[in-house]
């Protein structure tokens, strides 16, 4: 297989080519948004770990904000990994609380619950985590991105938050991929 295989994400526009009058037939114009490269699993892990490390200080600060706002009635903090639907490496990490009256508990941390939020834009993901075309690799992009981010969060927790007594875990939202939760304390 050619190691230079690439996939393009495109944005399409349909219409009359910007003309008000219909002197030309309708046309479709597609512009590439970003090139998604085929990569090996370890290369993906290395790039993802590097990008996650670039955000370590901000994530530590965000976790401190969350912990500082946890109401007494909460009986567990969960760090939820939410993989995207496209299986291209997208994910986000959100905090949530368990306990009586989940709505009220989580409302109290709502403004700070986002720990790591990836957006998809014209130039790819922001922050620029690696994008992968899952159809061109023989490994599970969802599984690898979830496990890599879970291990990264565990390391951050172990180095900075071992004194927190509230039971805390890292889970993949909606039991995706049968990834076992990581209990942090």
* Structure confidence by residue, pLDDT tens digits, 35-77: 556 778 999 899 989 999 999 999 999 999 999 999 999 999 9
Residue 19 forms part of a structural domain: no
Which of 63, 78, 74, 68 lies closest to 105, judged by CA? 74
Residue 83's pLDDT is: 80
C-alpha 82/C-alpha 142 separation (Å) is 10
Average pLDDT, the chain: 79
List, for residues 86-105, the tens digit of each pLDDT value.
666 667 899 999 999 999 99
Which of the two residues, 28 and 79, has the higher pLDDT score? Answer: 79
Look up the pTM and report it: 0.76
Residue 58 forms part of a structural domain: yes
Strands 124-126 and 168-172, by their bridges, are: unpaired
Helix (H) / strand (E) containing 36 = strand 27-37
Residue 133's pLDDT is: 74
How deeply is 161 buried, as exposed, middle or buried, from its count of CB atoms within 10 A (0-12, 13-18, 19+)?
middle
The boundaries of the domain holding residue 160 are: 38-183
DSSP string over 119-184: EEETTEEES------GGG-SS-HHHHHHHHHHHHHHHHHHHH-TT--S-EEEEEGGGGGGPPPEE-
Residue 33 forms part of a structural domain: no
Residue 91's pLDDT is: 77
**By the 8 A CB rule, do 155 and 119 touch?**
no
The answer on pLDDT for 124 being more than 90 is: no
Residue 22 forms part of a structural domain: no
Residue 27 forms part of a structural domain: no
Characterize 69-97 residue by residue with b for buried, 16 or more Cβ atoms within 10 angstroms of its Cβ, and e for exposed: bbeeebeebbbbbbbbeebbbbbbbbbbb
Please count the structural domains in the chain. Answer: 1
Residue 32's pLDDT is: 43
C-alpha 18/C-alpha 15 separation (Å) is 7
How deeply is 138 buried, as exposed, middle or buried, from its count of CB atoms within 10 A (0-12, 13-18, 19+)?
exposed
Residue 4 forms part of a structural domain: no
């Amino acid at each position: 297989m050619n190691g230079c295989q690439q996939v393009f994400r495109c944005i399409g526009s349909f219409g009359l080519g910007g003309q008000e009058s219909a002197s030309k037939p309708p046309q479709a114009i597609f512009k590439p948004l970003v090139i998604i490269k085929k990569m090996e699993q370890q290369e993906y892990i290395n790039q993802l770990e590097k990008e996650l490390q670039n955000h370590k200080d901000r994530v530590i600060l965000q976790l401190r904000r969350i912990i500082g706002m946890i109401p007494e009635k909460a009986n567990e903090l969960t760090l939820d990994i939410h993989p995207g639907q496209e299986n291209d490496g997208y994910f986000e990490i959100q905090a949530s609380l368990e306990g009586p009256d989940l709505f009220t508990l989580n409302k109290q941390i709502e403004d700070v619950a986002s720990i790591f939020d990836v957006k998809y834009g014209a130039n790819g993901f922001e922050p620029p985590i690696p994008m992968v075309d899952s159809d061109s690799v023989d490994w599970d992009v969802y599984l690898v991105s979830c496990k890599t981010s879970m291990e990264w969060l565990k390391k951050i927790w172990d180095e900075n938050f071992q004194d927190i007594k509230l039971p805390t875990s890292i889970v993949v939202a909606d039991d995706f991929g049968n990834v076992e939760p990581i209990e942090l304390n």
